[in-house]
Amino acid sequence: MKLKKLKIFFVALALLCPVFVYSQVQERFPKPDFESGYVRPDLLTPAPRSVVWEYMDILVLVAALSLATYFAHKLRSRRNIFLLMVFSLVYFGFYRKGCVCSVGAVQNVSFALFNLAYVIPLSVILFFALPLIFTLFYGRTFCAAVCPLGAIQDAVVLKPISVPEWLARLLSMFPYVYLGLAVLFAATGAGFIICQYDPFVGFFRFGADFNMVILGMSMLLLGTIVARPYCRYLCPYGVLLNWMSRLSRRHVRITPDECNKCRLCEESCPFGAIKKADEETQPMKKETDVKQLAVLFILLPVIVFGFGWVGSRLDISLSRLHPTVSLAEEVLLENAGKRTEMTDATKAFRATGKPLEELFAEARAIQTQFHKGGWILGGFIGLILCLKLISLFIRRRQLEYDVDKGTCLSCGRCFAYCPYEQVRLGQMTPEELKELDRRDVSIKQFRA
Amino acid sequence: MMEKQNKELHVKNRTELWYNIAKNIAIVTAVLAGILSVLMIANFIQTKSVDPLNSQAISQLMTKLQENPEDTVLIEQIRALDLLARKAYFTHQWQIRTGSYLLFTFVLILLLALKYMSSLAPRFPDLTKGPETEKTWESRLLSRKYILYGGLGLVLLAFVLGVLSQTELKKIGIFQPQKNQATSGYASLKEIRDNWPGFRGPEGIGWAYHTDVPKEWDGPSGKNIRWKIEIPYPGFNSPIIWGKKIFLSSADRRRQVMYCIDADSGEFLWQRELNDIPGSPERRPQVTEDTGFAAPTMTTDGTRVFALFATGDIACLDFDGNRVWAKNLGVPENHYGHSSSLITYQDLLLIQYDQNTGGRLLALSTLSGDMVYDQPRDVEISWASPVLVNTGKRDELILNSNPFVMSHDPRTGQELWRVRCMLGEIAPSPAYADGMVYVVNDYARLAGIKLGESAEMVWEYIDDLSEVSSPLASNDYLFMSASYGTVTCLDNKTGERLWLEEFEEGFYSSPILVGEFVYLMDMSGVTYVFKADKEFQLISRNELGEKAMSIPAFMHDRIYIRGTKNLYCIGE
Amino acid sequence: MKEKSSKDRIKRRDFVRKSLHSIVGLSIGGLAGVLFSRSSKEEMVWQLDPNICIQCEKCAVNCVLPHSAVKCVHSYSMCGYCDLCSGYLQPGAKHRDTGAESQLCPSGAIKRTYIEDPYFEYTIDEELCVGCGKCVKGCNSFGNGSLYLQARHDRCLNCNQCSIARRCPSQAWKRVPASQPYILRGDESGKYRKG
């Protein structure tokens, strides 16, 4: 017995060339019969999280969304929103390790729509849809108190600066690009880039590679002075929430009553979501602008088409991020003599014996998908660009200090600045309000 | 009034107290967090540079141990180092974990303190200045400008990216199904048959697909000889052709050379000497005169050419003569000199390396020369060459040796079937047609083997057997030529002899099927063209002008014959 | 007149907003419904198919957790209990003992115990296993293939996009239902037989 094994062993040694092992399970040695009464131990198979907890997550989500809405609209209490935010940070962030989150759920939905083989879990659908529905009715209360990514950024806001308007508008174009790319990559199966580049999930998991740690730390450090940078200038889900929020029937307002344009709330929003009231003498239109607007309208289809065309031209470079395409490319380059060594991936592929033509056909199909998707992505971005520019020509008279429905996160920081709020809370009488000398506000009056 | 003011003052003092407490806590935790971060970064850098689980020191000691396996001191050293390494790894893990939790706690406290401090400082606007809403138009103008620039910039970037990325792949043709070979990766069967890529033509069975070739020529008078060129050093390998390039190799005691000749002009495109191959033996092995140092015929896969020499040196050059890779397979134990020719299968270079020490089938990667598999074979030494055909359901590599003719899966090297029917020193390569394999050796037999569920010999013939020349099977007939001058034609399904002809000189070269005719060259260079039919019908007898042992190559409307000194191009 | 037109404008705006509101609300509901019809009641978790795995050692490095969730598991029903275990011993090992110079496992996670002549039992200590797969390679090449890598679900976080799966050269990672979270070999593979 032993000699035979030794012989096999030495023959194996002799063939010490890099034989490519393709996991062939061969019973080379017979299974023993034990005489001493030894019993083989069982293989332990620890189970993953039970499905009960998944339903629990959904319940907690619904409860948190409802509470957030209640706190923002009915109670109008910043403190309660803050506490709920801390709870969400702990539950959805550190306990559930930030996964699955509503921001990432966009990708799962895109993937499910274009890949019938992928079975999307119920909780993911609800994590995608519920915040949108709530926002559609009540504004972005999700952002304020439920989203763990938002919560961790909110937790580090210390000395927020106000970003110049033009810069804020420019940067807020980026989430559209990010959303478009994320949907494209998810739909084609190339990968989930939101998850890959999520700066905060590393903190939630207490585990990330070096680059992710650096990214996360930088984002948080930035977040101490630029409040919620990811939420405002990166979050792709925020695009959808922005749209929903703009259409919302009931949105939080700064004042519970009316606005007397006392200006006390002007600097209260760290996110720059407050629209100031116009002075009566403001002119609303300029002559030259009308001409430029007309030109823009005419150019709109050209821009959309042009962007779409450029997007379609990106099919080769973007499709490379798909593992099948990059494998096919590698194999092609190797066969054509442009590479001197094979990679693990190509070796593994060649060992499967799958015909090359099949791989190339798959790669071609994916590139076609990227081609079509690129048209849509480009067109989408072009359209958004034009709409944004058009909106910058049009201005409605702003009669009072109010929130920007699209970007207001319903965090409730501005409530306490409003004297009408203080009347509502009973800290001031209506008479005192009328005589309010704004230059004389003190800390005591402010802290509710 | 006074009471209210007093109360206000009291509250103000209290809040100031809390503010200061918070400030101090913040400073302390900030410092602690800072120190901890620095420690963790240092830890990280340290483990990045030295991975405890793949330690250099341990590997070096292990190689030493291979030489002195019983050195107990060394063993103790290794064990101690290994223990240290493992401990270091797990300690590092622990450090990361604990460090992160600690850091998290400090940062949390720091944040709470800072948050408290900032909440005590509400943000009020400077009411002495106006709300500056007239600045709104300017900011809008600015926004429009920058957004426009931003959008154009993005598009420009995307465009450049899109255009730049296409160049390399476009040259190859991306993934579009095109006619030329490079895109699908390997040469297709059609392309292989369109060229003459190895010994005895495409697939190695002696079938020529270019049938519009001359039937008459005369070397001495120059009739139908388009050009002839002298090949500097000796070699018995046959010319191979891809496109308009002809490849040959030569070798003598001092040098090994590979050549490329232009098929139209008959001029050398390049000559490459291969004298500095790593692992090449100092002294050349012993070979006989009629085998030489460059007996194996080269092969090509459409982008590269491969040559094997009697020293065991194997080299891969691209079509421009640039060396891609070269190595030595170990000097073959072969008393005549290695002569089995090379053949490629997709991305593999296959070598029948049957020697006195045993039989082996080697597969090297055509790209890198790395060994993909080395399959031992249960046979003795052989000088025959491989045949690679699709036998209906699968591709098979069929090798003739003593005592078995064996078939292998070219992708994995695994044996598919074997038939015991051979004896002696095997030189003729197999023939194949229509689901049957034919092998022959002098003093053994000519066997007709039928493939199917299993391979079995269905007929044998024992007269006038060949010892060097390989047999040729057409759809109905089998042609066998012998080194003493006989040519036999049999019915390939039954083994019944149809005719036997005797010629003046013997045959080392093998017959080639060209449409309805067979071209067969004898040792003096005379080529006989006769009909591939059940009755012998000689069409022509063509002199070359010198001796020849190689296999002619048939390409387009020309024939290329390598004599002992020159390469001839025969065409109208 | 101006007042009326501005009021009209507001009414029109309101109408547009309300109709958009309903359309959007219905579309989200519709989308959710479509996906719901194709959804699963249970979560999908990540798992490695050991028959596709090529033991490239990337599982150990690419998990988001510092101590990878991928561990080696041992199918005792398939094991040959050999003295000369190619998953335990280094290829060049001169002595068949438990010395560090003989062991293949870099972190010493495989424990070798004598059972009876000539059988030895090999168990994996998951606390020590890093998931590199060196032992798996040895066992598959020269042994019965009873050692293989699996993601352990008491550790695995089940990320939306598994960062090991993303980098696996042979695409051996799949999503499997949480009720059948392992792809096993040997007699244990019947544990999760479908249907």
pLDDT at A230 over 80: yes
Question: Model confidence over C58-112: pLDDT tens digits?
Answer: 998 888 888 899 999 999 888 888 888 888 988 877 777 777 778 888 888 999 9
A325, two tokens: 């395409």
Here the tokens at position A439 are 């230059």
* Chain mean pLDDT for chain A: 84
Which chains touch C (3+ CB pairs under 8 A)? A, B
Neighbours of chain A (3+ CB pairs under 8 A): B, C
User: Of the candidates B53, B75, B96, which has its C-beta nearest C107's C-beta?
Assistant: B53
CA distance B121 to chain A (A): 8
Question: Which residues in chain B have Cβ-Cβ distances shorter than 8 Å to C108?
Answer: 82, 86
Mean pLDDT of A133-151: 93
| Residue B40 contacts C where some CB pair is shorter than 8 Å | no
- Assign B31 to helix, strand or coil: helix
Nearest CA to CA, how far is B498 from chain C (Å)?
Answer: 53
- Say if residue C152 is in the same domain as residue C56: yes
In degrees rounded to 5, what are phi and psi of residue A321?
-75, -5
**What does the alpha-carbon distance between residue C154 and residue A74 come to, in Å, rounded to a whole number?**
42
Pairs across A and B, CB distance < 8 A:
182
Least confident of A319-323, A347-351, B490-494: A347-351
CA dihedral for C9, C10, C15, C16, sign (positive or negative): positive
Give the distance from residue A294's alpha carbon to the nearest chain C alpha carbon, in angstroms.
21
Cβ-Cβ contacts under 8 Å, B370 against chain A: 18, 342
State the complex-level ipTM: 0.86
Record: contact C169-A9, CB cut-off 8 A: no
Is residue A436 within 8 angstroms of chain B, CB to CB?
Answer: no
Neighbour tally for A277: CB within 10 Å: 19
Average pLDDT over residues A290-310: 90
**Which residues in chain C are closer than 8 Å to A347, comparing Cβ atoms?**
54, 169
When CB atoms are compared, the residue of C101, C108, C132 closest to B65 is: C101
The answer to whether residue C149 sits within a structural domain is yes
Residue of A nearest to C30 (CA): A129
How far C167 CA sits from the closest chain A CA (Å)? Answer: 9
On whether any CB of chain B is under 8 Å from the CB of A113, the answer is: no
Residue of chain B nearest A164, judged by CA positions: B139
Task: From chain C, pick out residues whose CB is under 8 angstroms from the CB of A24.
Answer: 140, 145
Cβ–Cβ under 8 Å, residues A316 and B166:
yes
Q: Looking at the partner chain, which of B70, B83, B93 has a beta carbon nearest the beta carbon of C66?
A: B93
Task: Compare all CA atoms of chain C with the CA of A207 and give the residue at the minimum distance.
Answer: C65
Which is higher by pLDDT, A322 or B277? A322
For residue C106, which amino acid is it?
P
Please write the tens of the pLDDT for every residue from B77-113: 888 888 888 888 888 888 888 888 888 888 888 888 8
CB distance C43–A24 less than 8 Å? no
Hey, is the C-beta of A20 within 8 angstroms of any chain B C-beta? yes
Where is pLDDT greater, at A437 or C183? C183
Backbone angles phi, psi at B461, to 5 degrees: -140, 135
Quote the CA–CA distance of B305 and B323 in Å, as a whole number. Answer: 10
C-chain residues near B99 (CB < 8 A): none
CA atoms within 13 A on the CB side of A323: 18
Question: Distance between the two ends of chain A, CA-based, in angstroms?
Answer: 86
Higher pLDDT, B60 or C170: C170
Beta-carbon separation of A364 and B176 below 8 A:
yes
Q: Do you know the residue count of chain B?
A: 572
Cβ contact A401:A253 at 8 Å: no
C-beta atoms of B165 and A316 within 8 A: yes
Query: Do the Cβ atoms of A249 and C78 come within 8 Å?
Result: no
Please indicate whether, in this complex, the C-beta atoms of B79 and C66 are within 8 angstroms of each other: no
Strand partners, B325: B316
The pLDDT of residue B178: 43
pLDDT in tens, C99-151: 777 888 888 899 998 888 888 899 999 998 999 899 999 998 888 889 999 99
Same domain? For C60 and C22 the reply is no
> Contact B147/A173, CB-based, under 8 Å?
yes
B82/C100 CB distance under 8 A: yes
The answer to whether B437 touches B454, Cβ cutoff 8 Å, is no
Question: What CA–CA distances, in Å, run from A361 to A324, B188, B372, B411, C146?
Answer: 10, 16, 26, 22, 36
B157: which residues sit within 8 A by CB, 6+ positions away? none
For the CA atoms of B446, B451, B453, B454, what is the dihedral angle to 10 degrees?
Answer: 30
| Residues 71-110 of chain B whose Cβ lies under 8 A from any Cβ of chain C | 75, 78-79, 82-83, 85-86, 89-90, 93, 96-97
* Phi and psi at residue C119, to the nearest 5°: -105, 140
Tokens 């490849």 -> residue: B247
- DSSP structural state of residue A94: I
B307 close to B322: Cβ distance less than 8 angstroms: no
- Contact across the interface for C154 and A244, Cβ inside 8 Å: no
Cα B510 from Cα B206, distance rounded (Å): 8
Q: Which residues contact B50 (CB under 8 A, 6 or more apart)?
A: none
In the three-class reduction of DSSP (H, G, I as helix; E, B as strand; rest coil), residue A427 is classed as coil
* pLDDT for the residue numbered B174: 54
Residues C170 and C95 in one domain: yes
Contact list in B for residue C94 (CB cut-off 8 A) is: 65, 69-70
Please check whether residue C169 lies inside any domain of the structure: yes
Q: Are residue C62 and residue C157 in the same domain, yes or no?
A: yes
Q: What percent of chain A has pLDDT over 70?
A: 88
Q: When comparing pLDDT for B82 and A395, which is higher?
A: B82
Measured CA distances, B109 to A156, B114, B137, C88, C152 (Å): 12, 9, 44, 48, 34
pLDDT at residue number B514: 92
Which chain C residue's Cα is nearest to B54?
C106
Taking each helix axis as running N to C, give the angle between helix A51-69 and helix A122-138, from 0 to 180 degrees, rounded to the nearest 10: 10
Is there a contact between C163 and C63 (Cβ–Cβ < 8 Å)? Answer: yes
C20 within domain boundaries:
yes
Cα nearest neighbour of B55 on chain C: C106
The rounded distance, in Å, linking the Cα atoms of B349 and B459 is 33
Which chain C positions have a beta carbon within 8 Å of A46's beta carbon?
Answer: 152-154
Name residue, tokens 């989203």. A147
- Read off the pLDDT band of A408 (50, 70, 90): very high
Task: Assess whether C73 and C28 both reside in one domain.
Answer: no
Q: Where are the domains of chain A?
A: 53-253, 286-393
Please give the pLDDT value at position A390.
Answer: 87
Total number of residues shown for chain C? 195
Whether B559 contacts B549, CB under 8 Å: no
Q: Are residues C149 and C84 in the same domain?
A: yes
Chain C residues lying within 8 Å of B70, measured CB to CB: 94
Out of C90, C94, C99, whose CB is closest to B79? Answer: C99
| pLDDT surpasses 50 at A447 | no
| C-alpha to C-alpha distances, B421 to A355, B321, B437, B446, B448, nearest whole angstrom | 35, 42, 12, 9, 10
Q: How far apart are CA C115 and CA C83, in angstroms?
A: 10
C18 and C106 share one domain: no
- Please state, in angstroms and rounded to a whole number, the distance separating the CA atoms of residues B206 and B551: 9
Closest CA to B482 of B503, B459, B507: B507
A155 inside 8 A of chain B by CB? yes
Quote the minimal CA–CA distance from B314 to chain A in Å: 17
Nearest CA in chain B to A162: B123
The token pair that represents A315 in the structure block: 């099919």
Run of H or E residues at B488 = strand B486-491
CB C145 within 8 A of CB A23: yes
pTM of the model: 0.72
B314 strand-pairing partners: B308, B327
pLDDT at A132: 94
Structure tokens at B474: 């057409």
Q: Under an 8 A CB cutoff, do C82 and A136 touch?
A: no
Of A195-209, A224-238, B474-488, least confident by mean pLDDT is A195-209
Whether residue C186 sits in one domain with residue C145:
yes
Which of the residues in chain B have pLDDT under 50? 171-173, 177-184
Q: Please tell me whether residues C160 and C129 are part of one structural domain.
A: yes
Contacts of A363 in chain B (CB under 8 A): 175
What is the C-alpha to C-alpha distance for residues A137 and C17, in angstroms, rounded to an integer? Answer: 12
C195 within a domain of the structure (yes/no): no
Of residues B307, B273, B311, B306, the one with CA closest to residue B292 = B311
The residues near C46 (Cβ < 8 Å, ≥ 6 apart) are C151, C156, C158, C159, C162, C164, C165, C173, C174, C175, C176
- Would you state the pLDDT for residue A285? 63
Residues C24 and C78 placed together within one structural domain of the fold: no
Q: Which domain holds residue C3?
A: 1-39
Question: Residues of A100-137 as b/e, b for ≥16 C-beta within 10 angstroms?
Answer: bbbbbbbbbbbbbbeeeeebbbbbbbbbbbbbbbbbbb
Interchain proximity B82–C101, CB inside 8 Å: yes
Interface mutation vs chain B, best among C58, C101, C111, most B CBs within 10 Å:
C101
Q: What is the 3-state secondary structure (H, E, C) of chain C?
A: CHHHHHHHHHHHHHHHHHHHHHHHHHHHHHHHHHHHHCCECCCEEEEECCCCCCCCCCHHHHCCCCCCCEEEEECCCCCCCCCCCCCCECCCCCCCCCCCCCECCCCCCEEEEEEECCEEEEEECCCCCCCCCHHHHHHHHHCCCCEEEEECCCCCCCCCCCHHHHHCCCCCEEEEECCCCCCCCHHHHHHHCCC
Taking residues C44-50, what's their average pLDDT?
91
Residue carrying the six token digits 């598009």: B155
Number of domains, chain C: 2
- State which residue of chain C sits closest to B88, comparing Cα positions: C107
Nearest CA in chain C to B86: C107
d(CA B212, CA B557): 5
Long-range pairs for A353-356: beta carbons < 8 A, 24 or more residues apart: A353/B411, A356/A331, A356/B184, A356/B185, A356/B186, A356/B346
Which residue of C159, C175, C185, C188 to mutate against A (max A Cβ within 10 Å)?
C159
Instruction: Please indicate, yes or no, if residue C81 is contained in any of the structural domains.
Output: yes
